[in-house]
Amino acid sequence: MDSKNLIEAFAQLAKEKGINRSEVGEIIVKVFDTIIKKQYGDVDNFDVIVNADKGEIEIYQELTVVKDKELDDEIVEIPISDARLLPDVEDPEIGEVVVKIIDPAIFGRRMISAAKQVLGQQIREVERNQVFEEYQNRVGEIVIGNIHQIRRNDAVFVNIDKTELKMLREEQIPTEHYYRGDTIKAIIKEVRKTSRGPEIIISRADDSFLRRLFELEVPEIFDGIVEIRSIAREPGRRSKIIVESNDKRIDAVGACVGIKGSRIKAIVKELNGENIDIINFSTESELLISRALSPVKPLYLEIDEERRTVTAVFDDNEIATAIGSGGINIKLSGQVTGYEIDAIRQSEYNRIEGDDIFIEDIKGITSAQIHALSDADIETAADFLNAETGYLLGIKGIGEKTFEKIEQLIDKAVEKKRSSDKELDIDHNTDDEAFSKTDKVNE
């Protein structure tokens, strides 16, 4: 097979594999480098030039001229008598480097067989690089493919055309069951280079999958009118997403929900029933956190902005819902807002708050009742709230009606103190801001 036919044969094979003709020359050079190395053991003094358009392959060997009887290595040396026979070489001298043209045909059928094998390896490498580059540019894109393999307690393999994608166990939604032949939608999360070729990782559990679903389903998000500020997700169970409208005429939550819930229903359906709370953004921390704690509303919040912590107080009957099954609601509320939230019952909070409120200072409680409680070591509101109901009812002069009345008076006193402390804190912050502004002016 001459050079032209050899190149054409390679070019046709490359075309079938989707390789550009311009890359055929580079591949053939690598093929001949490999063949030369196998036959001669060294390729440092060989040079392969391929012109794929003209169908020409030229192989040059650089040789150092030596005396006829001093030839030690015919791979890098040539006797002077042989050097004189080379075309385009006139009067060679000892020590001079001359170029010998090698006919590719001398490698014979073995060369053709080896060339095809090396060519196949090179084409596979080019194909791998093409797949890597293609999918590297598609990271963050949602794709649809068919499941062709499932490994027990491991990855799910998905085919898209002739490319295999991998969904690791941690990228799967735990509540979902996958079956061979099913069509599946996922996001391209990452593309890795490995010795066996590119590894394309897809995900249904990543936050970016939920974000992309909203972008596809809600035109206002895709166009940038509504912005997703934050996402917290427990795949398959529940998600919370904070959204903000950049246009006062557009309701961010309403846009995400859609007419009669059409948009959010489509997303929930894709996620097989995952509950999604959509939260309207606010620059006011208290309002934002209160919204995030839905479906229940806290009675009040104590926020430490510096430490990014929150104590959320709930009605005793709503504390379980506020925390959620396995703590999911309080956990996601904290993640989506960026605060560490601690949920506490109102009764428990009142016990803490009542530590420095003395019974004798609470209006409405009679002196006889104060003395009776004092004799039973009940001096503060906290003492009363922390005591067992049975113990309090056992105090002389404290019946059920009296107990209920005192309890109500104590709750009001605690609430009043709390409101007073909050107002004091607000005034204090205002004074600090005023001082800060004055200080800056003075500076």
pLDDT computed for residue 408 by the predictor: 86
Q: Which amino acid is at 20?
A: N
- Write out residues in the chain with pLDDT < 50, as ranges: 1, 424, 426-443
pLDDT digits (tens, 9 = 90+) for 326-370: 999 999 999 999 999 999 888 777 766 555 688 888 888 888 888
Structure tokens at 203: 């995900």
For the chain, the maximum distance between any two Cα atoms, rounded to a whole number of angstroms, is 133
pLDDT digits (tens, 9 = 90+) for 82-108: 888 888 888 888 999 999 988 777 766
Contacts by 33-42 with C-beta closer than 8 Å and gap 24+? 34/114, 34/118, 35/107, 35/111, 35/114, 35/115, 35/118, 38/114, 39/107, 40/75, 41/75, 42/75, 42/76
Looking up tokens 């015919």, which residue turns up? 74
Q: What gap in Å lies between CA 280 and CA 278, rounded to an integer?
A: 7
Task: Walk me through the domains of the chain, giving residue ranges and CATH numbers.
Answer: 3-133 (3.30.1480.10), 140-203 (2.40.50.140), 215-281 (3.30.300.20), 357-438 (1.10.150.20)
Orientation angle between helical segments 108-136 and 24-40, nearest 10 degrees = 130
Scan for tokens 């939550």, then name that residue: 253
Please report the pLDDT score of residue 440 as a whole number: 39
For 339, the token pair is 């605060």
Give the pLDDT confidence score for residue 372 in this predicted structure: 85
